[in-house]
Structure 1
């Protein structure tokens, strides 16, 4: 069981180890940025996927009518969430440690003519004053962080009272999987190798495989996220269903990628609110 008393244990390594770990993380995401972007784009390749993502995000935002919201996309990567929020008419800032990811996100925003701001920065130490944003969101970020509890406290700090934190992540390890699910991943990887001659997201001795034992959330579940969000002071924290998004992905993903990334990994969205006044 994961509760608030375990928060410091989830903070990861000491400062020096964390620094070197983040250097490795930046190197890895710079290296895999183009390949990752190709996979990320697959989640928005059909009209149904695009519609469902916008409907889902709209339903998760603070209820403020037609008001334009200030949104921070932490760990924006190629701008998946940032561009979605911007297309909905909100003011968006995307932040990431990886210069290569930020370059891709800016390229996408320019092509789509969407006014997003992208800056280099650390999700665990944000360069913004208190109460700066109505929404702090991230997708597939929390599992990569050495200090997830510290990061969530930072997100709450920059959030305006009445604002929301949205965490979208999953369990990307094989620890909680059934034998059938593990076999699907194996077949997905094998089919990818036979059709492409390699597994694009693995290679060159890089990747998170050798960092997993040092990352508290390399296999994250929503219960851990809820506990840390509540410990950081958020209220009304709960998990939201994403099965409709998975169903849409299953219709459009090639078989190899469906086995590797959809059928065999649990994904979720957790949202929580900040109360109080400035």
Structure 2
């Protein structure tokens, strides 16, 4: 498959997919989840005067962009689905929030080098075959000291929500390719009618190494937790210190999340 600007990406998908995300993005749970993520990333974001410049890649119907903009930050969304871009633009119209949405691909972002303080790419890497090109683009647009957030698949955990099949994370590659083919032909319901079903399955260690190769210091979900005191703090510190416990933690946690910090110049 071609990557970057050479590839003609499909910008329309099944209406059921659009309708689901249009509804889900307005829920109280979606706004609460987005605000919690925003507040966590602000702990790692570079200190600067004035608003942060935030790239929301895979911006969907604009919920994550909305919660950053409500604090005055400048947000630039990129989304491959034309209907979701339209919905996001309509929702922001008249609110006067500093948000701009672009129709495009994560493999060729429409931003200058070192122009963003924060880059958010939730549930995206699994859907783009040239995922390493996406990482290159995220790193390119971040300023030194900038923060990147990724959430994606976890090959270690048997629980997943990408395919409506049991234990799919553990299927061997050839069997996954079979179901990927069905999902884009006769059985779109297998992958929830996604135009681009998940084709990449990661481990936290694999993603951390890929980020390190690009000058990023990766923090997995346990590194990014605030330890605090009491039993919770003790448990967090034990997971960080003992690799077998960390591995078991990832084994029972659907999805991989990573916060990565770009090395300062």
| Shorter-chain TM-score tier | 0.5 to 0.7
The two structures have a TM-score, normalised by structure 1, of 0.64
Tell me: higher relative CO, structure 1 or 2? Use CA pairs within 8 A at least 6 residues apart.
Answer: 1
> Are residues 1:27 and 2:12 paired?
yes
Deviates more, 1:222-231 or 1:160-169: 222-231
Cα offset, 1:31, TM superposition? 5.8
Counterpart position of 2:212: 230
> Are residues 1:220 and 2:205 paired?
no
Mapped partners of 1:176, 1:54: distance in 2: 26
> Are residues 1:52 and 2:33 paired?
no
Which blocks of at least 5 consecutive residues in structure 2 are unaligned? 167-183, 227-251
- The alignment's C-alpha RMSD in Å is 4.0
Mapped partners of 2:57, 2:13: distance in 1: 18
Instruction: Give secondary structure in 2 for the equivalent of 1:163.
Output: strand
Cα offset, 1:145, TM superposition? 1.0
Mapped partners of 1:239, 1:186: distance in 2: 27
Counterpart position of 1:136: 119
Say if 1:74 and 1:51 are closer, same or farther in 2 by CA, change over 3 A.
closer
Aligned partner (choices 31, 35, 59) of residue 76 of structure 1: 59
Cα offset, 1:271, TM superposition? 1.3
Written as runs of structure 1 = structure 2, the 5 A alignment for 1:118-137 is 118-137=101-120
Cα offset, 1:125, TM superposition? 1.0
Which blocks of at least 5 consecutive residues in structure 1 are unaligned? 1-12, 188-201, 245-263
Structure with greater proportional helix content: 1
Say if 1:88 and 1:149 are closer, same or farther in 2 by CA, change over 3 A.
same
Mapped partners of 1:14, 1:116: distance in 2: 30
Mapped partners of 1:52, 1:60: distance in 2: 13
Mapped partners of 2:214, 2:44: distance in 1: 19
